[in-house]
Homo-oligomer: A and B are copies of this chain.
């Protein structure tokens, strides 16, 4: 059972269960969540409904990844006594709020949403966008408000989603004449996005450039060995470039700041070989990932235990979201049985 901590700001975040999480997720969000869970009332939403907006042809993939994502959360140190882990599709209030909010947003406004525009282009939907995909900013507004979330950690590119939520919140509060819902604010991570091991902008399992959170010792070794460095750095004695050099970007993300500064200086000067730097990065990653992998293996042996964490979290979340739905509906003036 999650312990409610009074007077801590509510934070909502989560992931689409479309594959196991990787080091990019760890740097971009999971690590933060582990520290935020003590200072905030944190809800983690396994967003299977949202995953279906562009995976309706393959619901099996989404279903199979639900417990995988929960395993990843627990493996990196999310504590179910501090964080409520819950399943989107088992929270009917989210669909009900979505349906209500869809009446408050025009189609033109959704089509103007920069995040939706970018993602439509990325997925090559053209005119054949699933309606659910066009509407997902509204569904996200439902998610955020259903928990009365005040803080939502998102990447820079997702800020328009929070703006859409704020618009809906203002519309409702204005029409009702009191502050039924808080206006959420975006929490943008200060660390940059972790590139793939090939140096490409985004680590992604489908690109084959990711290191999984439960990567084996051999996988880590192979990944670091294959990692993109400075293509102009041919001999150890040559000066090397650290900018755009994936090994150093990873060292920045995972290493000790002073040690990394010293390594960078030597590399730039010449005389520090790629193999030496890679060996150091490998050590650091092995040390980071080993406990994740062990915990994950241990937990994966007891799926009922993991399922029960998700079930109990979802029950807690259901109470919270049902209460908010009831409040919004009554205030807005939807018929309610007494």
Q: Give the complex CA separation of A135 and B333 in angstroms.
A: 22
Q: Give the complex CA separation of A175 and B58 in angstroms.
A: 9
Q: Give the complex CA separation of A127 and B138 in angstroms.
A: 18
Q: Give the complex CA separation of A110 and B129 in angstroms.
A: 11
Task: List residues of A (137-191) whose CB comes within 8 Å of B's CBs.
Answer: 138-139, 175
Residue pair B48, A335 in contact (C-beta under 8 Å): yes
Residue pair B334, A63 in contact (C-beta under 8 Å): yes
For A131, what are the chain B residues with a Cβ–Cβ distance below 8 Å? Answer: 102-103, 105-107, 110, 134-135, 138
Given contacts A334-B48, A335-B48, A337-B307, is CB(A105)–CB(B92) below 8 Å? no
Residue pair B108, A132 in contact (C-beta under 8 Å): no
Complex interface bits, A101-136 against B, C-beta within 8 A gives 1, otherwise 0: 011111110100000000000000001111111110
A25 part of interface (Cβ distance < 8 Å): no
Q: Give the complex CA separation of A105 and B332 in angstroms.
A: 29
A99 part of interface (Cβ distance < 8 Å): yes
Q: Give the complex CA separation of A337 and B87 in angstroms.
A: 10
Residue pair B99, A139 in contact (C-beta under 8 Å): yes
Residue pair A107, B134 in contact (C-beta under 8 Å): yes
Interface residues of A (CB under 8 A from B): 48-49, 52-54, 56-57, 59-60, 62-63, 66, 87, 89-90, 92-93, 95-96, 98-100, 102-108, 110, 127-135, 138-139, 175, 307, 311, 314, 329, 332-337
Q: Give the complex CA separation of A334 and B95 in angstroms.
A: 14
Residue pair B92, A104 in contact (C-beta under 8 Å): no
Seed contacts A59-B333, A103-B132; 19 additional CB < 8 Å A-B pairs: A49-B100, A53-B103, A56-B103, A59-B332, A62-B335, A63-B333, A66-B335, A89-B96, A89-B334, A92-B92, A92-B96, A95-B98, A95-B99, A103-B130, A104-B130, A105-B130, A107-B129, A107-B130, A108-B129
Minimum CB–CB distance for A46 against chain B, Å: 8
User: Nearest chain-B residue to A304 (Cβ)?
Assistant: B338
Residue pair B135, A106 in contact (C-beta under 8 Å): no
For A108, what are the chain B residues with a Cβ–Cβ distance below 8 Å? Answer: 127-129
For A138, what are the chain B residues with a Cβ–Cβ distance below 8 Å? Answer: 131
User: Nearest chain-B residue to A315 (Cβ)?
Assistant: B337
Q: Give the complex CA separation of A135 and B136 in angstroms.
A: 13
Q: Give the complex CA separation of A314 and B52 in angstroms.
A: 29
